[in-house]
Amino acid sequence: MLKGTVPIKERTDEEIAQSLKEKGLNLAVSEARRVCELLGRDPTIVELTIFNTMWSEHCSYKSSRSLLGEMLPTKAPNVVLGPGEDAGVVRFFPAGDGDWHCLVVAHESHNHPSQVLPVEGAATGIGGIVRDVYCMGADVVGVLDPLRFGDPEGEKGAQSVSIARGVVDGISQYGNALGVPNLGGDIVFDRGFDENCLVNVVAMGLVKESRILRSRVPKEAADVQYKVILIGKPTDDSGFGGAAFASEDLAGEEEMNRGAVQVPDPFLKRVLTVANRKVLELAAERGVAIGFKDLGAGGISCVTSELADAGGFGVKLDLDAVNIAEGDFPPAVIACSETQERYALAVPEDFVDDVLKIYNEDFDLPHIYHGAGAFVIADVTREKNYSIMSGGELVCEAPIDVITTGISYDRPKKSRQILFKEPEWQEGRDLREDFLKLFASPNIASKNHVFRHYDSEVQGRAVLRPGVADAGVIAPLPGEKVGLAVSVDGTPRYGIIDPYQGGALAVIEAARNVAAVGAVPSTITDCLNYGNPEIGEVFWEFFEGVRGIGDACKGIGHLSHEGHPLPVVSGNVSFYNQGESGKAIPPSPVIACFGVVEDYSKCRSISFKDEGDEVYLLGQPLDELGGSEYYRVIYDALGANVPEADFVREKAQIRTVIEMHSLGWIRACHDISQGGLLTALAEMTIGDGGSCPGITLDLDVLASSGLPAEKVLFSETGGFLVEIPAGSERDVLALCARNKVKLFRLGTLKRGAKLEVLSGGQRLAVWESDELKDAYMNGCRRIFGTAKGE
């Protein structure tokens, strides 16, 4: 006999809506009725709470699942596991004996929690993403953090600055304590994020292909009894309703929202990481097949049902066996709370005692954290049923696939009818002063004040640290020359004008950044941040963004596997990113790209190196300033002429730059993106704080564009700047001609650290390196302050 049923079947829609609201559930009335249909009866409160979580947008992808499967390429020869597991896996480097070192990557968001509690929200975002990688059997080698905040100079500037500081503190506190290096990220400030910041997190790790773990009960459970062991912190009510909270608009109920945010503990996580490794090593040594999954959204109910159903089994769960914190929590809370620092293992019964000993005795979890430990909480069953007992009574029973399958919506989409316009062009502006203002603006200025909060050197693998190159680079395998390059990108202002280009250009920019250090793009992950999918215009933006990502992955292709796409192996969709005003954030697809470089010693930073070297531009500026930083800072305008993705051109440029790196020709390389050509040249001139040579740029070499000087200098048409040793011009010209890449010689590096611009024989402006450094290095100081010890 089921305990605690909730009347649904015989109630009116109004009565059901009121009952759901009173119980704090976000299910639609139609969804509550669908639960009754599937169960054939009224549900219990535990069942209704589970469906509230499992059918949330965050867990079920009910608005996006069909589109993602249709539009995004997920297969390529290097892909081992694509979307569907806790993390994606691609082959990285041969390990010998037919085995491979594999790269494990995961990408998530923690947007709503970080808006409400910035420190805790960001910290638990990092904690959750590293668990996704750990539970695949991998050692985590780095994290990335693409962030979006409100306008620090706007009407909500004080709040935006406070949130930005809290988020950075949360990321640094958790990542540094855990001993995982931060390899980079990007930060964008825009008034469109005043009410809803974005905190996206990426983690990566390495595991041998033969040691990959799956988030499922192994097939051996058909012949041998398997148990589910819960490991970690005692369950409490922190994060209860977190998945549902992430699947609705941010509202004004501050205290209610705070309760849906989890509480992190990085020091316990570090102990758990070491203990987990011991268990995995012992299982591998004995040849024991196990399933491993972290507890995130939906807590115990989600992890047990997904582990079992993925393997083709069922589960009998006993909530009385769960270790709980002090307090009296109802069964629904114990089943669905999202308490942090927890894992679940599915192991054969004769391996249980060994597992419990490692956690509870060898690592003494109960004394490291009060109430923590490892506990057997469930039996795996051959019957594909899901049942939960509490206090000796049955509180949930359903076919397991009913719990896990979720629901799907075919959302209507409606294209936006907005006519964007270019701003009225202003002749005779002061180029020198305009550029200093642009160079000091928060979206352009150095993020060293952020990076210095993070530890990028821990683990001793860093080759190129955050901020010194277009991508972070590490040497992940001791004794090997192979390097891993990583970058994250996305420009929200592009998506406002044209969401298709916003998606496509995010892929292209991330791939360009990886290529700029000499790496071949290997795979990408995505985090798709949009507003309410129930609004036709918002869902159209999402549709167009995904279409752009898919087309870019196919258009650029996999350069190591000709004829195959650049695969998307992991990702996340974050809807309902809008606040009390009801205004959605700018369409914000964020792409992480991972690249492989054969010899990391050939990777180069953006800093100009030697006097007498030549500087070339691959590509040509076009009249594409729509969504640009120049328009934002100087004109306070959006514009209309957003850069248009040309996949043939981009692929040729990326291939050419990678080839130039492999031949050892490149001494410095920087892609052209935010701020355009002049910004890229200035960043190369000031370098990473050392003494760099300067350059005089004569715009006459780019006269064929037919554009005003400012449009040439600030267009955000993609391309690359490369520093090449003198005497290499013939080889460079031949390579670019062969690859059909436009090439322009911009000048020769010379003594005297300054940047000069000429046109028609006249000097338009000159900047000394020191004043450029002052603008660039201090632009974000007011927002983030200075790291301790400086």
309-336, pLDDT tens digit by residue?
999 999 999 999 999 988 789 999 999 9
CB 505 within 8 A of CB 616: no
Question: How would you class 776 by CB atoms within 10 Å of its CB: exposed for 0-12, middle for 13-18, buried for 19 or more?
Answer: buried
Strand partners, 670: 721
pLDDT tier at 256, thresholds 50, 70, 90 = very low
What is the rounded (10 degree) CA torsion for 97, 95, 105, 226? Answer: 40
pLDDT single digits (tens) 425-456: 999 899 999 999 999 999 999 998 898 888 88
Q: Residue 712: pLDDT above 50?
A: yes
Establish if 15 belongs to a structural domain. Answer: no
> Which tokens hold the place of 158?
């004080």
Check which CATH number belongs to the domain holding 217 and give it: 3.90.650.10
pLDDT tier at 418, thresholds 50, 70, 90 = confident
Helical axes 299-311 vs 45-54, angle rounded to 10°: 70
Strand partners, 182: 143
Residue type for position 310: A
pLDDT on residue 552: 99
Establish if 282 belongs to a structural domain. Answer: yes
pLDDT tier at 260, thresholds 50, 70, 90 = very low
Catalytic residue among 101, 107, 110, 112: 110
State phi, psi for 102 to the nearest 5 degrees: -115, 145
pLDDT on residue 246: 43
Instruction: Outline where 406-498 has alpha helix (H).
Output: 431-439, 448-451, 492-497
| Alpha carbon of residue 8 to chain centroid | 39
First-to-last alpha carbon distance for the chain, in angstroms, is 66
Q: Do 546 and 621 reside in the same domain of the chain? A: no
CB 372 within 8 A of CB 359: no
Q: Do 233 and 189 reside in the same domain of the chain? A: no
Q: Do 723 and 676 reside in the same domain of the chain? A: yes
Q: Do 762 and 682 reside in the same domain of the chain? A: yes
Domain final residue, candidates 587, 603, 619: 603
> Which tokens hold the place of 568?
């998307």
CA distance 595 to 32: 45
CA distance 168 to 146: 11
pLDDT single digits (tens) 347-365: 999 999 999 999 999 999 9
pLDDT tier at 513, thresholds 50, 70, 90 = very high
DSSP code per residue over 105-153? EEEEE-HHHHHHSHHHHHHHHHHHHHHHHHTTTPEEEEEE--EEE--TT
pLDDT on residue 264: 56
Question: What length does the chain have?
Answer: 790
Establish if 355 belongs to a structural domain. Answer: yes
Q: Residue 33: pLDDT above 50?
A: yes
pLDDT on residue 242: 43
CB 693 within 8 A of CB 751: yes
CA distance 108 to 128: 8
Catalytic residue among 58, 101, 449, 670: 58
Q: Could you confirm whether 58 is annotated as catalytic?
A: yes
Domain final residue, candidates 550, 584, 603: 603
CB 112 within 8 A of CB 123: no
CB 603 within 8 A of CB 518: yes
pLDDT on residue 251: 53
Q: Do 575 and 456 reside in the same domain of the chain? A: yes
Establish if 555 belongs to a structural domain. Answer: yes
Establish if 711 belongs to a structural domain. Answer: yes
Q: Do 171 and 256 reside in the same domain of the chain? A: no
CA distance 149 to 165: 10
pLDDT on residue 406: 84
Q: Do 613 and 535 reside in the same domain of the chain? A: no
Establish if 17 belongs to a structural domain. Answer: no
Check which CATH number belongs to the domain holding 516 and give it: 3.30.1330.10
pLDDT single digits (tens) 520-533: 999 999 999 999 99
Long-range contacts of 703-707 (CB under 8 A, 24+ apart): 704/620, 705/620, 705/621, 705/622, 707/621, 707/622, 707/623
Report the DSSP pairing between strands 568-574 and 520-529: parallel
Q: Residue range 413-417: average pLDDT? A: 90
Q: Residue 37: pLDDT above 70?
A: yes
Q: Residue 745: pLDDT above 80?
A: yes
CB 141 within 8 A of CB 205: yes
Helical axes 647-662 vs 499-516, angle rounded to 10°: 10
CA distance 450 to 783: 10
Helical axes 729-739 vs 647-662, angle rounded to 10°: 150
Q: Do 507 and 642 reside in the same domain of the chain? A: no
CA distance 758 to 768: 15
Establish if 678 belongs to a structural domain. Answer: yes
pLDDT on residue 689: 66
Strand extents, DSSP E, 500-611: 520-529, 568-574, 588-597
CA distance 671 to 314: 52
CB 111 within 8 A of CB 88: no
Residue 541 region, left (φ>0) first, then alpha (ψ -120 to 50), else beta? Answer: alpha
pLDDT on residue 248: 52
What does each C-alpha distance from 765 to 592, 623, 678, 697, 779 come to in angstroms?
A: 36, 21, 11, 10, 21
220 Cβ contact partners less than 8 Å away, ≥ 6 residues apart: 226, 289, 348
Residue type for position 569: V
Residue type for position 773: K
pLDDT tier at 243, thresholds 50, 70, 90 = very low
Q: Do 587 and 640 reside in the same domain of the chain? A: no
Q: Could you confirm whether 564 is annotated as catalytic?
A: no
What is the residue range of 751's domain? 604-785
| Element of type H or E holding 758 | strand 754-759
Q: Residue 109: pLDDT above 90?
A: yes
Strand extents, DSSP E, 45-87: 79-81
Q: Do 205 and 300 reside in the same domain of the chain? A: no
Q: Do 459 and 557 reside in the same domain of the chain? A: yes
Q: Residue 16: pLDDT above 80?
A: yes
395 Cβ contact partners less than 8 Å away, ≥ 6 residues apart: 2, 3, 4, 44, 45, 46, 47, 319, 331, 388, 389
Domain final residue, candidates 391, 423, 457: 391
Q: Residue range 533-540: average pLDDT? A: 96
State phi, psi for 651 to the nearest 5 degrees: -60, -40
Q: Residue range 718-739: average pLDDT? A: 96
Instruction: Outline where 253-345 has alpha helix (H).
Output: 254-259, 266-286, 299-311, 331-336
pLDDT single digits (tens) 541-572: 999 999 999 999 999 999 999 999 999 999 99
pLDDT on residue 786: 58
Round the CA-based radius of gyration of the chain to a whole number and report it: 27
Establish if 404 belongs to a structural domain. Answer: no
CA distance 595 to 511: 8
Q: Do 239 and 200 reside in the same domain of the chain? A: no
pLDDT single digits (tens) 167-202: 999 999 888 888 899 999 999 999 999 999 999 999
**Mean pLDDT estimate for the chain:** 93
Q: Residue 247: pLDDT above 80?
A: no
Helical axes 45-54 vs 29-39, angle rounded to 10°: 120
CA distance 316 to 47: 14
pLDDT on residue 84: 87
pLDDT tier at 296, thresholds 50, 70, 90 = confident
Q: Which residue has the tokens 């015989």?
A: 10
Residue 341 region, left (φ>0) first, then alpha (ψ -120 to 50), else beta? Answer: left
Count how many domains the chain has. Answer: 3
